[in-house]
Amino acid sequence: MARKTTTVDPIKLIRDDHKKVQKLFKEFEKTEDSRASRTYSSK
């Protein structure tokens, strides 16, 4: 039985991971911004 090999493009993997990290970082910044505005507005 012949095995089918799949090639993985390492550059594509890095780019996809980078996009995921950028998205997560933007979400993190939004939560930090909302926490900061709540802190300052309550004073």
CB atoms within 10 A of CB 8: 6
Instruction: Give the span between the Cα atoms of 19 and 21, in whole angstroms.
Output: 5
**Tokens encoding 40:** 């300052």
Write down the pLDDT at residue 12.
Answer: 97
**Tokens encoding 25:** 């970082």
pTM of the model: 0.57
Write down the pLDDT at residue 3.
Answer: 77
Question: In Å, how far are 8, 14, 31, 34, 37 from 24, measured between CA atoms?
Answer: 24, 15, 11, 16, 20
Q: What is the CA radius of gyration of the chain?
A: 20
Write down the pLDDT at residue 43.
Answer: 47
Task: Specify the higher pLDDT residue, 9 or 40.
Answer: 9
Task: Specify the higher pLDDT residue, 2 or 16.
Answer: 16
